[in-house]
Amino acid sequence: MVSLRVLTGDDWPLWREARLAALADAPHAFKARLGDWPRGGEERWRARLTLPGAHNVVALRDGRPAGMAGGVPGQGGAVELRSLWVGPGARGQGVGDRLIGEVEAWALRSGATTLRLAVLPDNAPAAALYRRHGFVPTGGLGDLLPDGVSRERLMAKPLGRPPDRETDHARGR
């Protein structure tokens, strides 16, 4: 069984374990490189986890990280979904759905109007997952990738309120 755990600063070793596993497993999926994140450096890991207004979650199976995702404050009423990863042994079981759902619920609670993300151009499985969750390409390009040529593709999901049933009823729908 997989459970989700929302992390505090003291959970930095767990976040580090998950993030290093993600970068080792799926270097094609992330702008960051494994070599950018040395194994030590508590201060740096803790700083990432305690970023004001951020929400970081790890999926645990038998006490070990099976996935992760983070939400960080953005600009103009937007927040960003970051670092989504599901370990190879846990894929295809809805863990990605749960992680996205957790970050989206946090985004709604924090009053954000848009949830944004960046996906690498050739990451079709992730882009499909995001589309299934209502994200659409904005047409915008994100950061330059290590190849020095390609750029991230930006996607966004408006976080509107659910349809107002009374209003729909009043309109005779």
Ligand X SMILES: CC(C)(COP(=O)(O)OP(=O)(O)OC[C@H]1O[C@@H](n2cnc3c(N)ncnc32)[C@H](O)[C@@H]1OP(=O)(O)O)[C@@H](O)C(=O)NCCC(=O)NCCS
Q: Which of 33, 91, 136, 146 binds ligand X (CB under 6 A)?
A: 91
Q: How many CB atoms lie within 10 A of CB 155?
A: 24
Q: Shortest distance, CB of residue 61 to ligand X, whole angstroms?
A: 12
> Quick check: 135 binds ligand X (CB under 6 A)?
no
CB of 118 to ligand X, least distance (A): 7
95 near ligand X, rule: CB under 6 A: yes
Q: How far is the CB of 109 from ligand X (least distance, A)?
A: 23
44 touches ligand X by CB under 6 A: no
**Stretch binding ligand X (CB under 6 A), from 31-39, 71-79, 83-91, 160-168:** 83-91
Q: Confirm or reject binding of residue 96 to ligand X (CB under 6 A).
A: yes
> Is 136 an interacting residue with respect to ligand X (CB under 6 A)?
no
Amino acid at 73: P
Q: Which of 6, 105, 128, 141 binds ligand X (CB under 6 A)?
A: 128
